[in-house]
Amino acid sequence: MTDPNAHDFWDSPRSMREASRRYLVRKAVVAARPSTGIYWWIPQPDGSWSVLAFHDEFYSMNSHTFMWRHVVDHLHTLYPDIKVDGDIAMTYAGLPRGRVAENRKGQVSVYHGNDSPGDLALVRTQFNLPADANLVFDDHEEMLDLDKMAVERALGGQ
């Protein structure tokens, strides 16, 4: 039996304010120093590309396969007619992507598939990296042809 006086965490304005405050504080801390995480290049309806970044500080399961569903949701906001449960559902390697990682010596590198549609300086900006951050080609980050074709179909040839 459920307690009629109980309420859900997210229903409490105080809890929501506190969660929002903590998020903004963490976001400010992340913005003030180099960060690590994963990213995708996202095609915009006007033909340009942007970088969608997922910082490790905010996501405990920060892998391309796990975060792809959030990319699909983001694509759906840009392209409302996209079928999110069709071909695109598991095609995480259908858009240019990469990872920003720190090695044991504390050096941060941008791993990419050499298929980025824009300047990797945009990735450096998203992760607050210095201009001389190491760029490393990693074939693991390359788009896969079948995934790329599925994403192109879903976006209507974008």
What is the CB neighbour count within 10 angstroms for residue 47?
Answer: 7
Higher pLDDT, 86 or 131: 131
Amino acid at residue number 23: Y
Q: Is the dihedral of CA 97, 110, 142, 64 positive or negative?
A: negative
Long-range contacts of 111-115 (CB under 8 A, 24+ apart): 111/136, 111/137, 111/138, 111/140, 111/141, 112/136, 112/137, 112/138, 112/141, 113/137, 113/138, 113/139, 113/140, 113/141, 113/142, 113/143, 114/142, 115/142, 115/143
Q: What is the pLDDT of residues 61-115, one digit of tens each?
A: 788 988 998 999 999 899 988 876 676 778 999 999 999 998 888 889 999 999 9
Vertex 62, ends 147 and 101: CA angle to 5°? 95
Predicted local confidence at residue 138, as pLDDT: 96
Per-residue pLDDT tens over the stretch 26-48: 666 666 678 899 999 999 999 99
Q: To which H or E segment does residue 72 belong? A: helix 64-78
pTM for the full predicted model: 0.79
Q: What's the burial of 41, exposed, middle or buried (CB within 10 Å: 0-12/13-18/19+)?
A: buried
pLDDT of residue 65: 87
Taking the C-alpha atoms of residue 26 and residue 41, their distance in angstroms, rounded to an integer, is: 24
Which residue has tokens 């400010």?
A: 28
Handedness of CA 89, 93, 96, 99 (dihedral sign): positive
Q: In degrees rounded to 5, what are phi and psi of residue 100?
A: -110, 120
